[in-house]
Amino acid sequence: MPTIAYFVSSHGLGHATRSTAIINEIHASKKDIHFLILSDLSDVFWKKNLDQSVPYTTLRFKTDIGLFQDDAFTCNIPKSVELLNAYLQKPVHKNTSLLKAMGKFDLCHVVCDISPLGIKLANYLGLKTTLIENFTWDWIYQPLIPKCQAFKDISNRLKAIFDTVHLRIQATPYCEKINGAVEVQPVYRNFQASPSEIYRKLNITQSQKLILMATNDLQLNAKFKQFIKNSPHRYILCGDDKNSEINMPTRRIPQDSNFHFPDLIRASAVVIGKIGYGMTVECWAAQTKLIGVTRKDFRESEVLKDFIVNQDIGISLTTEEFKRSSWLHHLEKQIENSPNTKSARVNGNGMASRKIIQIATG
The answer for 235, left when phi > 0, alpha when psi is -120 to 50, beta otherwise, is beta
- The model's pLDDT over 91-129, given as tens digits with 9 standing for 90+, comes to 999 999 999 999 999 999 999 999 999 999 999 999 999
Nearest to 272 by CA among 261, 283, 260, 263: 283
Nearest to 187 by CA among 259, 139, 132, 135: 132
Least confident interval from 12-26, 161-175, 180-194, 216-230: 216-230
pLDDT score for 248:
57
How many residues are present in the chain? 362
Q: How far is CA 180 from CA 167, 168, 172, 191, in A?
A: 9, 8, 15, 31
pLDDT score for 244:
47
pLDDT score for 253:
86
Nearest to 34 by CA among 51, 9, 54: 54
Whether 231 shows a pLDDT value over 70: the answer reads: yes
Distance between CA atoms of residues 221 and 217, nearest Å: 13
What residue type is 110 in one-letter code? V
- The model's pLDDT over 50-89, given as tens digits with 9 standing for 90+, comes to 999 999 999 999 899 988 877 766 788 899 999 999 999 9
- E-assigned strands of 298-352? 314-317
> What is the pLDDT of the chain when averaged over all its residues?
91
Distance between CA atoms of residues 173 and 285, nearest Å: 13
Neighbours of 257 (CB within 10 A): 12
Give the side-chain half-sphere CA count within 13 A for 113: 28
Distance between CA atoms of residues 133 and 114, nearest Å: 6
Tell me the percentage of the chain whose pLDDT exceeds 90: 71
Whether 247 shows a pLDDT value over 70: the answer reads: no
Whether 241 shows a pLDDT value over 60: the answer reads: no
Distance between CA atoms of residues 349 and 333, nearest Å: 32
Dihedral angle at the C-alpha atoms of 73, 77, 78, 79, nearest 10 degrees?
50
Strands 250-253 vs 234-238: parallel, antiparallel or unpaired: parallel
pLDDT score for 243:
47
pLDDT score for 240:
63
List of domains in the chain: 2-187+348-361 (3.40.50.2000), 195-337 (3.40.50.2000)
- The model's pLDDT over 190-202, given as tens digits with 9 standing for 90+, comes to 999 999 999 999 9
- The model's pLDDT over 266-300, given as tens digits with 9 standing for 90+, comes to 999 999 998 999 999 999 999 999 999 987 778 99
Peptide bond into 236 cis (omega under 30): no
pLDDT score for 298:
86
Average pLDDT over residues 164-168: 98
Q: Which residues partner with 56 through β-bridges?
A: 35
Least confident interval from 91-105, 137-151, 323-337, 340-354: 323-337
Whether 218 shows a pLDDT value over 70: the answer reads: no
